Amino acid sequence: MKLKKDLDSELLERLLFKDPEALKQLVSSYSRLLFQIAVRITGDQKASEKILCDVFRELWDKPNHFNQSEDTFLSSYLIKRCKIKCVQFEETYINSLLSKKSKNYIAACRSI
Encode pLDDT of 73-89 as tens digits. 999 999 999 999 999 99
Domain that holds residue 66: 4-110
Do residues 15 and 23 lie in contact, with contact meaning Cβ atoms separated by under 8 Å? Answer: yes
pLDDT in tens, 56-67: 999 999 999 988
pTM value is: 0.81
Cα(104)–Cα(10) distance, rounded to whole angstroms? 54
Q: In total, how many domains does the chain have?
A: 1
CATH of the domain at 65: 1.10.1740.10
Per-residue pLDDT of the chain (112 residues; tens, 9 = 90+): 467 788 899 999 999 999 999 999 999 999 999 999 999 999 999 999 999 999 999 999 999 998 888 888 999 999 999 999 999 999 998 888 777 777 777 677 777 6
